[in-house]
Structure 1
Amino acid sequence: MTTVPPTGRIHAPAIDTGRAERAPTTDAMYNPALIACLLSAAADAHLKQTSSGMPVALSFIIAPMTLHRLTRQSCQTARFTTHLRTWVERNPLVCVGFPERAQDLVDVVRQGLRFALRHEVLRLSGDVLLPRGRVPVRIPDHPELEDILRTSRLLGRWLAKNDTATVFALMGVKP
């Protein structure tokens, strides 16, 4: 639909990019390059734990867990040996809004995956992601960024101990 302002000139409607209502900090967190970096860190940790690539589907679990501050803090206080089921039972508040957060980030994660593949940060082999070792030359020193990357590495190792269907079921989402 077009609108005709009082000046008589016809204007096309603005394109909704979904970015207008997001805060600048949130916008920075949803940057495809950041998503690519955190998925690369997770895939690298997953590979070291299992000697196989990280299932692509886990990207849609790892990103919302890593980018949500409360979830990130809860993950970091858990022991690596804690089973995911136990962590979910101990942190019910973190899991309450997870399905909605994960759904809200689907497009963001897809953009991050495309960015990672296009810039050879990750490689796709079948349905698994393999790190290419091409993380950006300089990652800015920022405590929250370091926290995000540390959590994504932890999740890469931690979720490697579970099959993908179990992870999705425990987090209350469907692939």
Structure 2
Amino acid sequence: MPSRAHQPQAFAAFLNPALVSFVQASIAQEYELKRGRAMVWPLALVLPVLVLHRSTREALPSSIRTHLPTWAGRHPALLAGFGARVDSTLPVLREGLRFALRHGLIQVEAGAVHAMPFSTRRAEGELQEMLKSARLVGKWAATVDQPSTLLALLGVRV
């Protein structure tokens, strides 16, 4: 991925650190609420891609009643390129984590991401849709017993 200075302007604006950090924090917050413990930090570098990639986000189910393995089986084309999308987005995701840490949206403790309380009530439009999807992804990820199983379902190699 080109450095931020060399990215197309629309791409750089869309994947800005503030947006990415709110997606990461929303996922972590819902994961922790559903699971009862903080989310392991590698998931903060993988799960946001489900939300940030428009085609994938639009294919997400409306609720967690659709199990992740079922959804993955129904969307093999989206998941075929998922690992590559994660790899290409890693610099932006790392920048988002740094932003979230710096601005108190998250804390990293014992290898896990703990989201601090925050509100997204004023979000509207596409931002509102993205944060709604992020909350769903956080809850959804919390239903999978092992992070390694989740990563394998998404086609991500560690």
Normalised to the residue count of structure 2, the TM-score between the two structures is: 0.90
Give the SS at the match of 1:129: strand
| Mapped contact 1:120–1:134 kept (Cα < 8 A) | no
| Mapped contact 1:88–1:95 kept (Cα < 8 A) | yes
Find out whether 1:132 has 2:103 as its counterpart. no
Match of 1:165 among 144, 148, 157: 148
Find out whether 1:107 has 2:76 as its counterpart. no
Equivalent residue number for residue 154 of structure 1: 136
Equivalent residue number for residue 7 of structure 1: none
1:2-151 counterparts in 2 under 5 A?
17-22=3-8, 24-75=9-60, 77-134=61-118, 141=124, 143-151=125-133
Distance 2:74 2:147 in 1: 20
Gaps spanning 5+ residues in structure 2: where? none
Give the deviation of 1:59 after TM superposition. 1.1
Give the deviation of 1:78 after TM superposition. 4.8
Q: Greater relative contact order: 1 or 2 (C-alpha under 8 angstroms, separation 6 or more)?
A: 2
Distance 2:152 2:103 in 1: 32
| Mapped contact 1:121–1:135 kept (Cα < 8 A) | no
Q: How many residues align?
A: 156
The alignment yields a C-alpha RMSD, in angstroms, of 1.9
Gaps spanning 5+ residues in structure 1: where? 1-15
Distance 2:155 2:62 in 1: 20
Normalised to the residue count of structure 1, the TM-score between the two structures is: 0.82
Give the SS at the match of 1:174: coil
Give the deviation of 1:20 after TM superposition. 2.4
**Counterpart amino acid of residue 17 in structure 1:** S
Give the deviation of 1:29 after TM superposition. 2.2
Distance 1:74 1:118 in 2: 32
Give the deviation of 1:140 after TM superposition. 5.1
